[in-house]
Structure 1
Amino acid sequence: MIEGLKLGALAVAWLALAMGGAAAQQIQSSYTNVNLDECTVIEADDFGARWACPGYKGIPVMIAEGDLRFFVSYGLKSTEEKAAEQTLPPFNYLGPRIEWRVSNMDGQWKPFATILRFFTSREEGEDESQVLVVTKVEEGATCHVAYIDALANPGANELARATADEKAPDFDCAGEPEIIGEFKAWNID
């Protein structure tokens, strides 16, 4: 009887360890391309354009350009989200891939954040900067969470993932995006 209890306790301990490992595996990355040639032009004029693009598992990605700056938002109501109005201060263009942070906490893989590289202009004669933009993805609350200077921070991609995982789920879109790590992409004074 005591030996059976020991085995039972050992099985429970092993199951707890296994579940702890599984919990750590409940967030992962998935990637989609940013290729405006594969997107549908929604509107265009002399001042800019807006595209509807495919995203993770069919989630729409809205990309707009105006005044040499890009805006990116996600979801069925992407044009109504705060992210549709957010961009970076310097002239910019988008990197080639969106990294989606997805979780299966609810039993199915669902995105809660994205990471997208923006290339930004600098003063004349200086090389362009690269900023990783972490965006919260939630219907009615899709917005920029954080900016990470990809050139000033070693391991910037890992820093962006950690920021997305820790900050995006509870981020209040009424607030302003945070600067994470060292930042030299533009003057933030």
Structure 2
Amino acid sequence: MRLTPFLLAAALAAPAARANESTYTDRDLDACKTLSQEAEGGSVSLQCAGYKDLAVYFKEGDLRQSQAYGPISKAWLDEAFESFGHFNHTNAKIEWRLAADGRPVATIVRWFVSDPETTSDTETRYGQVLVVSTVATVENPTSCVVGYVDALENREANALARKVADDEAHDFACGMAEPQWHGARGRLAGEPMRHLPPAVE
């Protein structure tokens, strides 16, 4: 079938839909601003540089770490903590998923989760989990985990995590919706733990 000149011109003029893209930043804990710190238990809360003017909020307590992104509310800053039950730490590199208008809608960070069945630091094995989180906005000042991908059990783990970010982060309701595992999940992935402030409807 041949297009009429009018339809052909319209087809050529219509812009192609642009898929989400990624950009990357590296979190530098030594350059972060300390918001609070407690000697007992070794807990700390930091504000770090992120993408453009968006901050990364890093917390650590009892050898477990948590991160949130963008302009979160004071309640979220003070009370939110999403991590894993086993000792863990995060990779410094943060992948930001950008919508067609260039606005960050999600982050992807690799978590290293210790295997509780090992008996010493020199023998500890780690699971690796890609954690997909929302990015807070002024209108919605909450940032939370959207989903998990076991990076050791899924061959295309990064692509799967990006799909979760693109499909689910934009309308995920923090404090009301529950993050889910996507793809295969192995024993070393660990068990997530979370504490969030009450959801504001």
Q: Do both proteins adopt the same fold according to a TM-score greater than 0.5, normalized to the shorter chain? A: yes
Say which SS state the counterpart of residue 11 (structure 1) adopts: helix
The structure in which a higher percent of residues are helix is 1
- Is 1:66 the counterpart of 2:61? The answer is yes
- Is 1:29 the counterpart of 2:31? The answer is no
Q: Tell me the distance in 1 between the aligned counterparts of 2:73 and 2:109.
A: 16
In structure 1, what residue type is equivalent to 2:18? A
Say which SS state the counterpart of residue 170 (structure 2) adopts: coil
- Is 1:183 the counterpart of 2:177? The answer is no
Residue 151 of structure 1: aligned partner: 152
Structure 1 residue ranges without an equivalent (≥5): none
Q: Tell me the distance in 2 between the aligned counterparts of 1:79 and 1:95.
A: 25
In structure 2, what residue type is equivalent to 1:144? V
TM-score (norm 1): 0.84
Q: How many residues get paired?
A: 176
- Is 1:120 the counterpart of 2:118? The answer is no
In structure 1, what residue type is equivalent to 2:183? G
Structure 2 residue ranges without an equivalent (≥5): 193-201
Q: Which has the larger radius of gyration?
A: 1
Q: Tell me the distance in 1 between the aligned counterparts of 2:184 and 2:5.
A: 51
Q: Tell me the distance in 2 between the aligned counterparts of 1:129 and 1:58.
A: 32
Cα distance, 1:96 vs. partner?
A: 2.0
Q: Tell me the distance in 1 between the aligned counterparts of 2:37 and 2:112.
A: 22
Matches within 5 A, 1:22-171: 23-25=17-19, 27-46=20-39, 47=41, 48-77=43-72, 79-81=74-76, 84-105=80-101, 109-122=102-115, 123-124=117-118, 125=123, 127-138=125-136, 139-171=140-172
Q: Tell me the distance in 2 between the aligned counterparts of 1:176 and 1:151.
A: 23
Say which SS state the counterpart of residue 185 (structure 2) adopts: coil
Cα distance, 1:78 vs. partner?
A: 5.4
Alpha-carbon distance change, 121 to 181 in structure 1, aligned in 2, over 3 angstroms = same
The alignment-based identity, stated in percent, is 39
Say which SS state the counterpart of residue 24 (structure 1) adopts: coil
Cα distance, 1:6 vs. partner?
A: 3.0
On the 8 A contact 2:84/2:191 being kept in 1, the answer is no
Say which SS state the counterpart of residue 91 (structure 2) adopts: strand
